[in-house]
């Protein structure tokens, strides 16, 4: 049994991670300030003897004794991270500093939940870990993109300077139960709009592409990276390399739900990437990981979840 800290543990990904870690027999401390996370996501874990919940903001230091740290704390959708961009940057940067300081003090292994947004609007396709990206440092998405890039810098400087055991994981689009219904991401947007019979909004002509990884696959990759040999620091892409246009996704959701929603088009937001697809060669080679859930099956499970919460 390990003592494991999960920051952002009441969020979409964090709650699934806490569930998996407890099922594996570990003692889990879930930390969240509930900006985007919800107690509802972890309510079923509250009575478990090996689960503890703490309300805390990672921009402030935390003093606990743990063996591993999964640093997931940060709003991850444009709607949420652009609501308070200064706080978003502080969460990524100050949060990383505080969690790295904790890991150094207690000699814990620490994993950073980074993002495919470090690649920006890429000129390389698919994106591999050696690509440095094409990011606007002063745009409306920069609080998240550059915050995560700076967090990666901090992780590798702590590894070089203090020999801290680090893991850096670049997460590509992930979907599944417990997504926030108003997070502005395409999967949740399309499902909620289709269930309500509302127009489905596509930005641009819908030809931009994304790759969608089901949450169970993503969490499996995250745990495998944490448990990998010390020299496997990353960064490592974790995502599903299956590539779909946004228009195709919208049509897929309408068909699965049997909705009469119509598709309407709005202007493309600033700095919205045109292509996003992970090269997962490193994950396959170093972690023996690759996604197993097909988009159709994952969407059906996600639709079932949203049916239960959307009026």
Which are the catalytic amino acids? 144
145 token code pair: 């993109």
Please confirm whether the linkage preceding 88 is cis (ω < 30° from 0): no
The residues, ordered by sequence, that sit 6+ positions from 138 with a Cβ below 8 Å of its Cβ are none
For residue 280, what are its two tokens? 């997962």
Structure tokens at 196: 């309500």
């Amino acid at each position: 049994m390990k003592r494991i800290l999960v920051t952002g543990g009441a969020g979409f990904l964090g709650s699934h991670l806490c569930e998996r870690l407890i099922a594996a027999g570990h003692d889990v401390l879930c930390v969240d300030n509930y900006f985007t996370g919800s107690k509802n996501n972890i309510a079923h874990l509250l009575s478990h003897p090996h689960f503890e919940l703490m309300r805390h903001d990672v921009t402030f230091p935390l003093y606990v004794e743990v063996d591993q740290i999964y640093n997931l704390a940060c709003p991850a959708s444009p709607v949420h991270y652009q609501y308070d961009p200064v706080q978003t940057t502080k969460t990524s940067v100050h949060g990383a500093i505080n969690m790295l300081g904790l890991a150094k003090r207690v000699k814990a292994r620490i994993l950073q939940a980074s993002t495919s947004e470090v690649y920006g609007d890429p000129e390389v396709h698919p994106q591999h870990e050696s690509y440095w990206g094409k990011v606007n440092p002063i745009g409306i998405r920069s609080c998240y993109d550059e915050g995560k890039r700076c967090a990666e810098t901090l992780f590798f400087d702590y590894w070089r300077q203090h020999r801290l055991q680090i893991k850096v994981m670049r997460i590509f689009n992930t979907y599944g139960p417990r997504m926030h219904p108003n997070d502005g991401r395409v999967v949740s947007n399309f499902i909620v709009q289709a269930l309500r019979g509302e127009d489905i909004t596509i930005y641009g002509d819908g030809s931009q592409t994304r790759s969608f990884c089901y949450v169970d696959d993503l969490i499996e990759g995250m745990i495998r990276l944490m448990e990998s040999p010390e020299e496997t620091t990353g960064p490592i892409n974790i995502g599903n390399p299956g590539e779909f246009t946004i228009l195709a996704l919208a049509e897929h959701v309408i068909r699965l739900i049997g909705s009469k929603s119509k598709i309407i088009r709005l202007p493309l937001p600033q700095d919205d990437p045109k292509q996003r697809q992970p090269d997962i060669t490193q994950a396959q080679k170093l972690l023996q990981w690759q996604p197993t859930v097909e988009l159709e099956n994952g969407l059906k499970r996600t639709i079932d979840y949203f049916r239960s919460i959307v009026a």
